[in-house]
Structure 1
């Protein structure tokens, strides 16, 4: 009997595959945005919702009825079409749906979908409790009437990046960290990635950026923009703490080959100026963009590098607009647009 998604012909599509919807988990946790910072980030968060809703439904996990009523009252203030919003009241711990949300796979012929329900431990047990977020993939599978499979190991959506053609990029600092799956070797982790994401190749970079409490998620450093092209963040300032690690990642990318033996087409994007808030350096990065149906939504931070990043990405994404949205308040929670979202791909049902 065929048991793994790969054996059954399922795979995780690239983010630019058409979406049925985007899932988010509405922020309410004061540990991520302390005190007034939570309310200060809401305008940026609703701007993100509005931009996504221009081309697809936004499905929102909502912690309780009071929060649901707050969201419904806020939508008209931001001119968001309520018909594009679906609210699901269930217990949640935090906002990072990329990591605790479901991994949607589609069949090779695009006829079916299923959900992979990875375990979630809040980046190595850093931020308990996380049990409610860990239950979200099963709850969404029930909402949608989809089958789900549970591999039984820790995995986060922000730690993996796909080209939709058999390749996944990830980082050693995260997936090989003993705070995730200490009982598994690199080969064993690769086998899980291949079997449950439906890929044939795993490519590894070393590490992530300063301020990233996820131990180096790939979605802050390297992203596919098509099946053979990646953007990678670089730090020109040799005195900056990010310079060395990003230079090492670039060196490793240049040595990689795709399944057909061809090298990666690598586009470099300079990091923004250091985003320092209350003496804390947040993990600001243009790589944390989100590709939705209507646009590519890029976090910007009010610095000169914003325009350069948007220009480079606009030349790479020619099938939809590239839009910069402020993330200066959101980034205090140590994540941005990609971290907050999880795409539900469209299937020819």
Structure 2
């Protein structure tokens, strides 16, 4: 019988753990950014790449050679150091590397890493085809020469949030949705999380925000900023559709206890103004930030709450700058900076 990653001492580190690189999958067709909006989001996308590249390599899954040539030209245009970019040509479907990309596990005191290849079905089969994206973790494992293990169930990186000290946060609306793993109970899901992410505790909130087609990913609502502190999104406007669900999540967070019995320290951040594009409300949220080596990169939406969110996050991350980058065009694809990225952590030596 094959031992689990946890049994072998592997764990998924917190996002603020030093990165070897960040992986992204380059968007090339308009099924996520319909109505001619793909080209409009590229300036924001390359601004994200540039911000990450200042502190680590950016490794990009690229669908074909023509797209590789386009990217190389854009690197010059946006003054991005090409030495910080690595391009890997392989078939891809969509851009959301947080969900279809690999989960890298490390082991204390060892150079060894392990790559977890969760199954991927585009958030319950919503956006076929997704078979090329589902194969990406195995392809990356082969490229890097890293061992790979497949749990055999559906799991998305945006649905889980880690403190690096044995705790994972997730949402019932996503992981218990029958469109993912209908044969599994909550207890089964918790066992998979513990054994394949190397954690000891699973904490659950109820739901996600309006416009989130992932059925409630945690990375739009609650994020760890250190081992015992979370930020959580709140909606002060009681008439807004997000008010009740975020208030429910907040109450649940207040009742949670960490492994040593401590309550969570909870910092509230107000939601941005509703981001409505072509009569569709997109899932704009400051919680979808990405913690890179060089900075905490926060999506902004051209509203007064942008400065409030950046100020709050700047008081919480004291080891690296907090920067805001516009995500008004990217969010039309129903995701933002965290959804687009997946970190490759350094080994712990």
Please report the TM-score for the alignment, with normalisation by the length of structure 2. Answer: 0.99
| Displacement after TM superposition at 1:112 (Å) | 1.3
| Displacement after TM superposition at 1:109 (Å) | 2.1
| Displacement after TM superposition at 1:66 (Å) | 0.5
Give the aligned partner of residue 77 of structure 2.
Answer: 77
Give the aligned partner of residue 220 of structure 1.
Answer: 220
Whole-angstrom CA distance in 2 between matches of 1:168 and 1:288: 17
Give the aligned partner of residue 19 of structure 1.
Answer: 19
Give the aligned partner of residue 103 of structure 1.
Answer: 103
Give the aligned partner of residue 168 of structure 2.
Answer: 168
Contact 1:229 1:265 (8 Å CA) reproduced: yes
User: Could you give the per-residue CA deviations for residues 159-195 of structure 1, whole angstroms, max 9, x where no partner exists?
Assistant: 0000000000000000000000000000000000000
Give the aligned partner of residue 41 of structure 2.
Answer: 41
User: Could you give the per-residue CA deviations for residues 35-81 of structure 1, whole angstroms, max 9, x where no partner exists?
Assistant: 42000000000000000000000000000110000000110110100
Whole-angstrom CA distance in 2 between matches of 1:59 and 1:190: 31
Q: What are the within-5 Å matches in structure 2 for residues 55-66 of structure 1? A: 55-66=55-66
Contact 1:106 1:113 (8 Å CA) reproduced: yes
Give the aligned partner of residue 282 of structure 2.
Answer: 282
Whole-angstrom CA distance in 2 between matches of 1:315 and 1:325: 18
Q: What are the within-5 Å matches in structure 2 for residues 236-315 of structure 1? A: 236-315=236-315
| Displacement after TM superposition at 1:108 (Å) | 2.4
Contact 2:106 2:348 (8 Å CA) reproduced: no
Contact 2:10 2:106 (8 Å CA) reproduced: yes
Whole-angstrom CA distance in 2 between matches of 1:2 and 1:176: 26
After the TM superposition, list the runs of 4 or more consecutive aligned residues in structure 1 that deviate by more than 3 angstroms. Answer: none
Whole-angstrom CA distance in 1 between matches of 2:85 and 2:170: 32
Q: What are the within-5 Å matches in structure 2 for residues 94-243 of structure 1? A: 94-243=94-243
Whole-angstrom CA distance in 1 between matches of 2:4 and 2:303: 46
| Displacement after TM superposition at 1:29 (Å) | 2.7
Residues 261, 348 of structure 1: CA spacing in aligned structure 2 closer, same or farther, 3 A cutoff? closer
Please report the TM-score for the alignment, with normalisation by the length of structure 1. Answer: 0.99
| Displacement after TM superposition at 1:348 (Å) | 4.7
Whole-angstrom CA distance in 2 between matches of 1:138 and 1:255: 39
Contact 2:107 2:348 (8 Å CA) reproduced: no
| Displacement after TM superposition at 1:110 (Å) | 4.2
| Displacement after TM superposition at 1:32 (Å) | 0.2
Contact 2:125 2:179 (8 Å CA) reproduced: yes
Structure 1 gaps of 5+ residues are: none
Contact 1:2 1:8 (8 Å CA) reproduced: no
User: Could you give the per-residue CA deviations for residues 304-347 of structure 1, whole angstroms, max 9, x where no partner exists?
Assistant: 00000000000000000000000000000000000000000011
User: Could you give the per-residue CA deviations for residues 127-174 of structure 1, whole angstroms, max 9, x where no partner exists?
Assistant: 000000000000000010000000000000000000000000000000
* 1:7 alignment partner, SS class: helix
Give the aligned partner of residue 342 of structure 2.
Answer: 342
* 2:233 alignment partner, SS class: strand
Size of the aligned set, in residue pairs, is 349
Is 1:331 aligned to 2:331, yes or no? Answer: yes
Give the aligned partner of residue 89 of structure 1.
Answer: 89
